[in-house]
Amino acid sequence: MGDSQYSFSLTTFSPSGKLVQIEHALTAVGSGQTSLGIKAANGVVIATEKKLPSILVDEASVQKIQILTPNIGVVYSGMGPDSRVLVRKSRKQAEQYHRLYKEAIPVTQLVRETAAVMQEFTQSGGVRPFGVSLLVAGFDDKGPQLYQVDPSGSYFSWKASAMGKNVSNAKTFLEKRYTDDMELDDAVHTAILTLKEGFEGQISGKNIEIGIIGADKQFRVLTPAEIEDYLQEVE
């Protein structure tokens, strides 16, 4: 992976057995904007802050939540440019699967392949690990699923999770609020409230992004107007 001139890995073990480059990558994730995901009984919601460096930035040109396949979406915390690489590779892997099996790729398979790419960059020559953690939300035959993938390449399935700056407060909030029988609409409200907890400034449809997938198995990103509606309901 990577046409590198370096034939040796830059990520090596420290005397205590740690891979410090991965730890530093996680630190980079931890200083990224907060994002979270919640798995409901009939769908999944993922959401993130969208804080732009200036009011001069055209916010319509930025979309952090990306679609990987019609029924799988992803959000990241950490370094935006790194996430673009992973999104591109995942989309291609999903398409290759479809070409071979004439079926939509199951969520677990796509997550596993993406995680494998992230792991390669912790071991291959001349590259550094990805500075992002991903939350992958999908709905396939096994129902709604939410996975978190870390820079090390390890992944877990979550009922609800958060990443980035406000991770500990967000997770505490989610632990209190989460119920197994939540509906997708409740989950969206909870996601908004969780983001609101650590939000600096006035939350609006233009500075957060929300992606949902329901029983229709179509992942989509909500428009700012739809987010405003949900915000009204939450007030």
Buried (b) or exposed (e) across 168-183, using 16+ Cβ within 10 A? eebbebbeebeeeebe
82 in contact with other proteins (CB under 8 A)? yes
Contact segment (CB under 8 A) with other proteins among 81-89, 97-105, 158-166, 215-223 equals 81-89
- Cβ neighbors of 176 (< 8 A, separation 6 or more) are none
Cα separation of 201 and 32, whole Å?
17
- Out of 44, 79, 135, 170, the only residue in the binding site for other proteins (CB under 8 A) is 79
- Out of 127, 160, 163, 195, the only residue in the binding site for other proteins (CB under 8 A) is 127
Cα separation of 233 and 65, whole Å?
23
CB atoms within 10 A of CB 6: 11
Sheet holding 43-49, edge to edge: 160-163, 35-40, 43-49, 208-213, 220-221
- Out of 51, 84, 92, 98, the only residue in the binding site for other proteins (CB under 8 A) is 84
Cα separation of 114 and 36, whole Å?
19
Mark 47-76 with x for binding to other proteins (rule: CB under 8 A) and - for no binding: -----xxxxxxx-xxx--------------
223 in contact with other proteins (CB under 8 A)? no
* Beta carbon of residue 49, minimum distance to other proteins (angstroms, whole number): 16
Of the CA atoms within 13 Å of residue 74, those in its CB half-sphere come to: 27
80 in contact with other proteins (CB under 8 A)? yes
177 in contact with other proteins (CB under 8 A)? no
Which one, 60 or 225, has the nearer CB to other proteins? Answer: 60
**Backbone torsion region of residue 124, taken as left when φ is above 0, otherwise alpha when ψ lies between -120 and 50, otherwise beta:** beta
15 in contact with other proteins (CB under 8 A)? yes
* Beta carbon of residue 59, minimum distance to other proteins (angstroms, whole number): 9
* Beta carbon of residue 33, minimum distance to other proteins (angstroms, whole number): 13
93 in contact with other proteins (CB under 8 A)? no
26 in contact with other proteins (CB under 8 A)? yes
